[in-house]
Structure 1
Amino acid sequence: MPIMFEGGADPMVADDYLDQVETQLISVDVMEDYLKIILANYKFSKDAKVWWKSVTKIEEMRWDRFKELFYEKYFPLSKRWELQNQFHNLIQGNMSVTEYKNKFTSLSLFAPETVKDEANKTRKFVTGLNDRMRPLLTAQFIKVYSEAVERALMLKADNRDKDAIREQWKQKRGAGPSSEGSS
């Protein structure tokens, strides 16, 4: 069963709630709109319960209309546009590849047109990588998102190894006696 939904100001909680409800409805094979709506509001409490009581004519309501009203109330279009813009402007910056991938995945839900196919999704991911990795992956012309993620993770690990070797070399060079000029 989905968690209780109280309403509130966090639209991501609302989106998560509705996602849980839809998963449950699919798993128990509920097809009738009226039953979907009844089951969806079964776990409403506090503000959500008050809001739901203000909605009338549920017998005639379709599931799509319920979702539309729910999102209007708890996940306004302005917030969805804000998240869409965050996705379009997303760059790796100081994030690890894994952090960037996770943020990319969660925000991509709000820009489905940008990630409508594997090639576009991969291009957007690679374009947002930092300056050290992006050219290396761009040159490979990777078309599969999971492959781009895996290669970025491998590059990051390889860069860490190279940085560690370089640091060890600097320490050895600086700590030991100089071999220059001695015979």
Structure 2
Amino acid sequence: MFEGGADPMAADDYMDQIETHLTSMDVTDDHLKIILATYKFSKGAKLWWKSVTNQHKVEEMSWDMFKELFYEKYFSVTKRWELWEQFNGLIQGNMSVTEYENKFISFFRFTPKSVRNEVDKTRKFVSGLDYKMRPLIMAQYFKVYLEAVERVLMLEAEAKDRNAGKE
């Protein structure tokens, strides 16, 4: 269900879930996609959709147009830009590697498609690592994101083992 509201991440999650379902059900007709997506609207989202149906010929609407209207309402360009800026400034800081990687992945979906290749993704992840780990990973020059993450997790575990041995 999607109620609407002020949380743009919930809107993006909803759209991602709907598109996954539509793909798995092999739904290709735009009008049917819209019907299935809006079927799960409730509360504010349902009221918004009623106003859209009064202003647009829904039966002629494309899926892309539906998504554009949906994102315009529930996930503004300004909010997407803010998340992109947060992603650009993301650093590990006091987070564990797992926490950092989870945050990295949650923000990565808001990057422009032009920087969504494996090498750029890996470089961005490595550049935000803790200053102690970053040179160790950069020296190995990983091109595959998951390989870099795995190596950093191994380094973190090793560092914890060393620190435990000192105590």
Range of TM-score over shorter length:
over 0.9
Residue 9 of structure 2: aligned partner: 12
Residue 34 of structure 2: aligned partner: 37
1:110-149 matched pairs, under 5 angstroms: 110-113=110-113, 115-149=115-149
Give 5+ residue unaligned stretches, structure 1: 168-183
Residue 173 of structure 1: aligned partner: none
Give the match's secondary structure for 1:121.
helix
Residue 64 of structure 1: aligned partner: 64
Give the match's secondary structure for 2:110.
coil
Task: Give the aligned residue type for 2:20.
Answer: T
How far is 1:115 from its partner? 4.2
Residue 108 of structure 2: aligned partner: 108
**Hey, what's the Cα distance between the residues in 1 that align with 2:158 and 2:115?**
28
Give the match's secondary structure for 1:90.
coil
Give the match's secondary structure for 1:101.
helix
**Hey, what's the Cα distance between the residues in 2 that align with 1:46 and 1:36?**
20
**Hey, what's the Cα distance between the residues in 1 that align with 2:66 and 2:79?**
19
**Hey, what's the Cα distance between the residues in 2 that align with 1:22 and 1:165?**
49
Percent identity reads 68
Task: Give the aligned residue type for 1:11.
Answer: P
**Hey, what's the Cα distance between the residues in 1 that align with 2:95 and 2:166?**
22
**Hey, what's the Cα distance between the residues in 1 that align with 2:35 and 2:118?**
37
Q: Write out the 4+ residue segments of structure 1 that deviate beyond 4 Å after TM superposition.
A: none
* TM-score after normalising by structure 2: 0.94
The answer to which structure has the higher helix fraction is 2
Aligned residues: 164
Give the match's secondary structure for 1:140.
coil
Residues 85, 33 of structure 1: alpha-carbon distance in 2 compared, 3 angstrom cutoff: same
Cα-Cα RMSD: 1.1
**Hey, what's the Cα distance between the residues in 2 that align with 1:57 and 1:92?**
48
* TM-score after normalising by structure 1: 0.86
How far is 1:116 from its partner? 2.0
**Hey, what's the Cα distance between the residues in 2 that align with 1:13 and 1:106?**
12
